[in-house]
Structure 1
């Protein structure tokens, strides 16, 4: 969440929480603001999850606090006993996110030196106001769809550049490849996946795995591209076959977009394989090594395209 947006949310949630608690005549109204501050989170899903945990944690804390203070009187020692009982239970039931705000409410009982129904309701109401106001503000999360769409464009552009660079290597017989573009793509995919997973956690109802699977598919393709880059590093001998394969790389680079099924490329790859099989056997060691690398590259491209075809099949019915 951007700092400016978080700051605005914190200021408004805190102010409104304190205002509402004061308006309803609750004691210690600032505690509602503190709880609101602690409840402003980065995603909608985490907000609801934490709110539920803190609700249960508050009920548990007030119950334990009331019993301990009733039996042992109101003292710092009693507060210590309360913590000795409450904290382990909170962790046991995975309610530790509510330890701090709940304990703030329990200290109000210590300060008041009395246990009454109205006081317990006061503390519970402070929690409901603070957490409720924060939940309302957490319902607004800016859409990251434009940012995700930009990542689509950048990823596909880098993929195209990588294949065109492979094309250049095969045409010249120069396999000196520093994998710079592949490393750029790796960094870009990590950024994209971080944004996609964050955006997914903000979807309460209409969750989709599409974007996650899309970038994971590209990540799987990247792994194969790294293998191809290593093979091309050993490529030092251009041939008629390498020129043909370079043409396939150009064709692949033009069909990498999200909405392209790429099914036709599988047929083209099979035709290339058949053509390679019918050619004369290599006559020199260099020709043999080159042919072996080209076959490996061709199978690598087939794996890359198959990933794309499978992804397209999973999300398109046409």
Structure 2
């Protein structure tokens, strides 16, 4: 069994230590509850941490006020406690504070156990909540950057794209290939993991929206869908017409240019030249030639969409940079 201590575990341990030490130093009743609240509020992203903390604080405050009023009015009995929870939980959910149900329940049980609503008890519970949530927020300020792993994912995906395009060109030329397509399934995995990581990295940015990686992987995901659609058509045109060699050359050149830099205008121009060449060809004389020519036309159309997807991202980045400079 592999034993591993992650950064979140370390943050939680430190948070428990700090929250317990502060609440104990202040001689608060049930001081261990501050540590429990801290554990509940430790999160994987900064934005989620702020949202969770607000939910828990608001729910706890409501729980304290309402429970003290109802218990004092109806009594400190199990029936009243059960009735309160039946009404309180849907109320909290309706206010969209459902993430605070567990924490507020802990505080409500404290009040029920003391069986005496006083200002001192209210302040005790409020301090436990503030210390627990405040400590968690402090711990959540540290979030390790995923920049390095995102760059690794980016490089691996580009390498896979390059190999896939090269294998397409090889198949068109030779009609056979020893390629087993492992990069296809590997790219699916990489795109899924990289997008999730990019979302998490974006949610760790509080003062700025840094989502260039997310948009990049989203762009590659759309391009990959096109590559998957091309596969059955690629297998129908190997060596069948003279234009297949031109397409193979185009795919091989494209495979060498898979990178973040903008080569789109050049390759769109090459596609347009191939289209003009096809228009000048004589009409197909056999069914097989007609089907191959149709497949070639479809492949060129999909390759144009493949390039335009990247071009749209490039233009979007330029527009964003212009707006930033303007303001």
TM range (shorter): over 0.9
TM-score by length of 2: 0.91
Deviation of the 1:132 alpha carbon: 0.5
8 A contact 1:45–1:203 mirrored in 2: yes
User: What does residue 53 of structure 1 align with?
Assistant: 55
Give 1:212's aligned residue: 214
CA distance in 2, matches of 1:192, 1:225: 19
The equivalent residue for 2:26 is 24
Structure 2 equivalent of residue 42 of structure 1? 44
Q: Give TM-score scaled by structure 1 length.
A: 0.94
Whole-angstrom distance in 2 between the partners of 1:57 and 1:111: 19
Instruction: Give the distance between the partners of 2:67 and 2:303, measured in 1 at CA.
Output: 66
- Higher mean C-alpha deviation, range 305-314 or range 170-179: 170-179
Distance in 2 between the 1:297 and 1:176 partners?
22
Partners of 2:276 and 2:5 in 1: how far apart? 58
Which whole-Å CA distance do the structure 2 matches of 1:253 and 1:260 have between them? Answer: 14
With over 3 angstroms needed to count, the CA separation of the structure-2 counterparts of 1:251 and 1:237, relative to structure 1, is closer
Q: Is the 8 A contact 2:18 2:135 kept in 1?
A: yes
Q: Which residue does 2:325 correspond to in 1?
A: none
What secondary structure, in the 3-state scheme, does the structure 1 residue paired with 2:6 have?
Answer: helix
Q: Cα deviation per residue 1:222-251 (whole Å; 9 max; x = unaligned)?
A: 111111101123335433211111111112
Aligned equivalent of 2:268:
266
Q: How far apart, in 2, do the equivalents of 1:224 and 1:26 lie? A: 62
Q: Report Cα offsets for 1:119-152 as digits up to 9, x if no partner.
A: 1011011000001000111111100011111111
Write the deviation string for residues 247-294 of structure 1: whole angstroms up to 9, x where unpaired. Answer: 111121122211224221111110111112112333333332222222
- 1:307 match: 309
Q: Which runs of 5+ in 1 are unaligned?
A: none
Task: Name the counterpart of 1:99.
Answer: 101
Q: CA deviation at 1:162?
A: 0.7
Post-superposition offset of 1:176? 9.4
Residue aligned with 1:142, SS: coil
Once structures 1 and 2 are overlaid, which stretch shifts more, 302-311 or 207-216? 207-216
Q: Which residue is 1:140 aligned to?
A: 142
Q: Which runs of 5+ in 2 are unaligned?
A: 322-327
CA contact (8 A) 1:160 1:256 kept: yes
Give per-residue Cα distances to partners, 1:79-117, cap 9 Å, x unaligned: 222212211211111222212221211222222221111
Cα distance per residue 1:158-194 (max 9 Å; x no partner):
1110110010011113489865432322221111111
Contact 2:173 2:238 in 1 (8 A): no
SS at match of 1:208: coil
**What is the correspondence of 1:162-241 to structure 2 with a 5 Å cutoff?**
162-174=164-176, 179-241=181-243
RMSD: 1.9
2:286 to 265, 284, 287: 284
Q: Within the alignment, does 1:87 sit opposite 2:89 as a pair?
A: yes
Change (3 A) 1:183 1:235: farther
Aligned residue pairs total 317
